[in-house]
């Protein structure tokens, strides 16, 4: 899979006569001498499947694909008995070509020294700059050194480009092996959400559910959570990125859980909202059904050939009509939409690309600014919500302290779409049954 990704990218690079540099990233300090668990940068994972820090992939489209004239060179850490005893095993230079299928492998300590020579006779360099000033400075210095060789007849790369328009366009279209991974991630996410619905009881705590979700993700083979879990009871659901996850679960409140398993570094992104204690109140039902109808209307618009903005517009229309029907906003639907009267209660947009990054790479608009068109292989989240904070004086007190979001991961197919996370209870009846422990996930 990763070799195929590399070959596709090399074709793009050959057409541009561009070299590409892709960093794995380094350990990040958590506190004093403790690091966060290492997670490689997504571009690097996409092209190598390798997950050691301090590695760099260099792609040279003019090479012949041999060790002497490589098209792909991986720079990585050398084996070191003492370091491996303390900090963990390393693949090492000698084993890298066979294990990863790259043409050549070299010690990372030699990367900057070799770089100017290797960049010769390319018109451009593609590299994701802007996140590491030290790295950027070394890269610019290396490009400058190539330019100094010009009097020897060497062509130096003049352009330094971000991978946004090349590599990230490739990442947007998921192929079959990637979708297999995403389906496995979705199956584990399904199990976690169902377990959470069953486990959440009045008098419990958000942290217990948070831990149960993490446990399920890791125990079922995931790399962990694709992003920080949001386990938000009652009014906490109105804080969109609430991650404290440490408050008591109260009877009669809703629990909003936004959590997705990461599998082989591919993300799932799912939200469900369900009643603590197992039964929706009538007011909660009324709001929940509006969000659900909006989500289904949105999913319907995720189709090959339809514009990207369509699902947001369709979901928003349903949310807006629902708010009117409940007397929360006034109008005439078209007038309420035109004046965006729904915005205080819907707050966010309805979705985003999904893949190795939870907010995945890939442009949302065409060059002229118009929304791009859905095509098979794209995966997008559809996640409308309604939020009425406890201290919102503009709404009837009956709605306050309620936040509801429903989110699934939708794959565009040649004939329509496929909901990768369809197995997670979603209708009012399904959710109440799952809270009562009646739902058993079927693992892929
Ligand atoms: Mn999302």
Residue 272 Cα to ligand 1 midpoint, Å, equals 11
Q: Exactly one of 352, 357, 360, 432 is catalytic; which is it? A: 352
Catalytic residue list contains 348: yes
Residue 334 Cα to ligand 1 midpoint, Å, equals 27
Residue 408 Cα to ligand 1 midpoint, Å, equals 8
What are the tokens at 88? Answer: 């963990």
Q: Dump pLDDT digits (tens) for 151-206.
A: 888 999 999 999 999 999 999 999 999 999 999 999 999 999 999 999 999 999 99
Q: Exactly one of 269, 301, 357, 360 is catalytic; which is it? A: 269
pTM for the whole thing?
0.96
Q: Exactly one of 405, 408, 409, 432 is catalytic; which is it? A: 405
Average pLDDT over residues 327-349: 97
Strand 385-388 to 402-405 pairing? antiparallel
Q: How confident is the model at residue 150 (pLDDT cuts 50, 70, 90)?
A: confident
Residue 444's pLDDT is: 41
Is CATH 3.40.350.10 the classification given to domain 2-170? yes
CATH topology of domain 173-435: Creatine Amidinohydrolase (3.90.230)
Q: Dump pLDDT digits (tens) for 369-390.
A: 999 999 999 999 999 999 999 9
Residue 438's pLDDT is: 79
Q: Exactly one of 387, 408, 409, 432 is catalytic; which is it? A: 387
Residue 48 Cα to ligand 1 midpoint, Å, equals 26
Residue 182 Cα to ligand 1 midpoint, Å, equals 15
Residue 412 Cα to ligand 1 midpoint, Å, equals 17
Q: How confident is the model at residue 344 (pLDDT cuts 50, 70, 90)?
A: very high
Residues bordering ligand 1, an ion, CB closer than 5 Å: 269, 381
Which of 240, 239, 250 shows the shortest CA–CA distance to 206?
250
Catalytic residue list contains 51: no
Angle between helices 176-199 and 206-219 (to 10 degrees): 150
Catalytic residue list contains 387: yes
What are the tokens at 426? Answer: 């979603």
Q: Exactly one of 89, 162, 348, 398 is catalytic; which is it? A: 348
Residue 163 Cα to ligand 1 midpoint, Å, equals 23
Catalytic residue list contains 33: yes
Residue 226 Cα to ligand 1 midpoint, Å, equals 11
Residue 382 Cα to ligand 1 midpoint, Å, equals 8
Residue 317 makes CB contacts below 8 A (sequence gap 6+) with: 294, 297, 333, 337
Residue 380 Cα to ligand 1 midpoint, Å, equals 9
What phi and psi values does residue 211 have, to the nearest 5 degrees? -70, -40
Q: Dump pLDDT digits (tens) for 222-255.
A: 999 999 999 999 999 999 999 999 999 999 999 9
Catalytic residue list contains 345: no
Average pLDDT over residues 248-275: 98
Catalytic residue list contains 396: no
The DSSP-derived string for 43-95 is: HHHHHH----SS-EEEE-TTS-SSSSS-SEEEEEPPP-HHHHHHH-----HHH
* Ramachandran sector of residue 385 (left: φ over 0; alpha: ψ -120 to 50; beta: rest): beta
Catalytic residue list contains 220: no
Q: Exactly one of 32, 37, 151, 241 is catalytic; which is it? A: 241
Residue 441's pLDDT is: 61
What are the tokens at 328? Answer: 């929360």
Catalytic residue list contains 39: no
Average pLDDT over residues 110-135: 97
What are the tokens at 87? Answer: 């900090």
Residue 369's pLDDT is: 95
Q: Exactly one of 360, 407, 409, 432 is catalytic; which is it? A: 407
Cβ proximity of 279 and 432 under 8 Å: yes
What's the whole-number average pLDDT of the chain? Answer: 96
Structural domain spans, the chain: 2-170, 173-435
Catalytic residue list contains 258: yes
Q: Dump pLDDT digits (tens) for 53-68.
A: 999 999 999 999 999 9
Average pLDDT over residues 124-134: 96
Q: Dump pLDDT digits (tens) for 22-56.
A: 999 999 999 999 999 999 999 999 999 999 999 99
């Amino acid at each position: 899979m990763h070799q195929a990704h590399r070959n596709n990218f090399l074709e793009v690079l050959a057409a541009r006569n561009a070299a590409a540099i892709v960093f794995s990233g380094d350990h990040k300090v958590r506190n004093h001498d403790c690091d966060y668990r290492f997670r490689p940068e997504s571009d690097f994972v996409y092209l190598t499947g390798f997950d050691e820090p301090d590695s760099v992939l260099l792609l040279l489209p003019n090479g012949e694909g041999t060790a002497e004239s490589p098209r792909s060179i991986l720079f990585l850490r050398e084996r070191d008995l003492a370091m491996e005893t303390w900090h963990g095993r390393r693949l090492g230079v000698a084993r890298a070509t066979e294990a990863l299928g790259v043409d050549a492998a070299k010690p990372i300590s030699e990367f900057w020294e070799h770089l100017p020579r290797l960049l010769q006779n390319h018109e451009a360099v593609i590299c994701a700059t802007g996140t590491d000033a030290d790295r950027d400075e070394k890269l610019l210095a290396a490009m400058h050194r190539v330019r100094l060789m010009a009097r020897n007849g060497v062509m130096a790369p003049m352009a330094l480009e971000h991978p946004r328009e090349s590599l990230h366009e490739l990442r947007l279209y998921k192929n079959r092996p990637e979708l297999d991974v995403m389906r496995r991630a979705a199956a584990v996410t399904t199990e976690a959400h169902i377990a959470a619905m069953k486990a959440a009881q009045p008098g419990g705590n958000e942290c217990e559910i948070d831990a149960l979700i993490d446990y399920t993700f890791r125990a079922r083979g995931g790399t962990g959570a694709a992003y920080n879990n949001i386990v938000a009871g009652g009014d906490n659901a109105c804080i969109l990125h609430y991650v404290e996850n440490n408050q008591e679960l109260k009877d009669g409140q809703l629990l909003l859980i936004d959590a997705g398993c990461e599998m082989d570094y591919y993300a799932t992104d799912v939200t469900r909202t369900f009643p603590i204690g197992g039964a929706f109140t009538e007011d909660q039902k009324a709001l929940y059904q509006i969000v659900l109808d909006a989500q289904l209307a949105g999913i319907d618009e995720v189709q090959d050939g339809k514009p990207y903005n369509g699902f947001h517009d369709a979901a928003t229309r349903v949310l807006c009509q629902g708010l009117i029907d409940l007397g929360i906003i006034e109008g005439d639907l078209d007038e309420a939409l035109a004046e965006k009267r729904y915005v205080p209660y819907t707050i966010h947009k309805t979705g985003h690309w999904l893949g190795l990054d939870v907010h995945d790479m890939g442009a949302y608009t065409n060059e002229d600014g118009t929304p791009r068109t859905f095509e098979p292989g794209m995966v997008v989240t559809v996640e409308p919500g309604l939020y009425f904070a406890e201290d919102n004086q503009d709404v009837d007190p009956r709605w306050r302290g309620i936040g509801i979001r429903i989110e699934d991961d939708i794959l565009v197919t040649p004939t329509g779409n496929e909901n990768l996370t369809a197995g997670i209870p979603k209708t009012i009846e399904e959710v109440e049954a799952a809270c009562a422990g009646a739902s058993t996930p079927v693992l892929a």
